[in-house]
A and B are shown apart, each in its own frame.
Chain A
Amino acid sequence: MITLNHYLVLSAVLFTIGTAGVFLRRNFITVLLSVEIMLNAVNLTFIAAARQFATVDGQIIVLFVVTVAAAEAAVGLALVIALFRHRETLNPGAFTSLKW
């Protein structure tokens, strides 16, 4: 028997994996991929909750989240390209000019 709790726990696990990726990886592209994992974990929560309460609102919000993810990927990758042109590396540790 699969309950809402199963989906919520799976979503929490995915979100934790994404968070760990953002904090542990030293590569801008992998960090952006980890953010996508986190967004998808949240999407899974929305869909499962929408199924539980028998509404379509969850699916519509997921549609908006996907749109925002597309915009975020476009702008984020443009930033990555600009940064790479600047320093020839993707290591976040190399961009510390503004560090106090």
Chain B
Amino acid sequence: MELEVVVFYAFAAVTVGTSVLVVAQGNPVYSVMLLIASFGGLAGLYVLLDAPFTAVTQIIIYAGAIMVLFLFTVMLLNVPREDVAEAGHGHALNPPGARRLGITLTAALLLELGWAAWHVSTRQSGSLSAVPPGDVSSVNQIGRVLFTEYALPFEVTSILILVAMVGAIVLARREPPVSRP
């Protein structure tokens, strides 16, 4: 077996396994830690896809900043466990009509997935490493395209960040006591 195949399946197994555990176990602190491991696996896959810049971005921004924000909130709120006793009651999917609709949608989704998987297995494309990479992995080229072709979306992103910052402060702020003159 080639090295590329082994590395792909190793990283894919890490990513899928930790993602399943994120959803499957009850303690949010462990969920956040496992999601960081999942992002590590994804970063490995990005390196395999000749995208080292995105892999580093993934580690620094996702694992380093966003997950720390999540961890900070989990520890600030101090609610480590999902309330198991409440789980059955007040579930949005409990009414029988909603359940029937959900089962229908799930069946449609699974049918679609099976159809897609069947198509994938019959139509074989060439190996990715056979495609010439061009300048995909060049940070120079990414910067050039980002600041010329995608300059407007880039600037709009800064407005989005500003709005999110103001929104987060307004939402999380404690209401000041009303002072009467």
**Residues of chain A at the chain B interface (Cβ within 8 Å):** 1-10, 12-14, 16-18, 20-21, 23-27, 29-30, 32-34, 36-37, 40, 43-44, 47-48, 50-52, 54-57, 59-60, 62-64, 66-75, 77-82, 84-85, 89-94, 96
With A54-B136, A62-B54 as given contacts, are A25 and B89 in contact (CB-CB < 8 Å)? no
Main SS at interface, chain B: helix
Could you tell me the distance between the alpha carbons of A51 and B12 in the complex, rounded to whole angstroms?
A: 17
A74 near B127: Cβ-Cβ < 8 Å: no
Residue of A nearest to B4 (CB): A2
A-B contact pairs, 21 of them (CB 8 A): A2-B4, A2-B127, A12-B113, A18-B23, A20-B23, A26-B86, A26-B87, A30-B82, A37-B19, A40-B39, A54-B131, A56-B136, A57-B145, A70-B65, A71-B164, A80-B77, A85-B174, A93-B86, A93-B89, A93-B90, A96-B90
With A3-B125, A8-B120, A64-B157 as given contacts, are A81 and B79 in contact (CB-CB < 8 Å)? no
Determine the interface band of chain B, counting residues with CB < 8 A from chain A: 35 or more
Q: Select the residue from A10, A47, A48 with max chain B CB neighbours within 10 A.
A: A47
Could you tell me the distance between the alpha carbons of A33 and B31 in the complex, rounded to whole angstroms?
A: 8
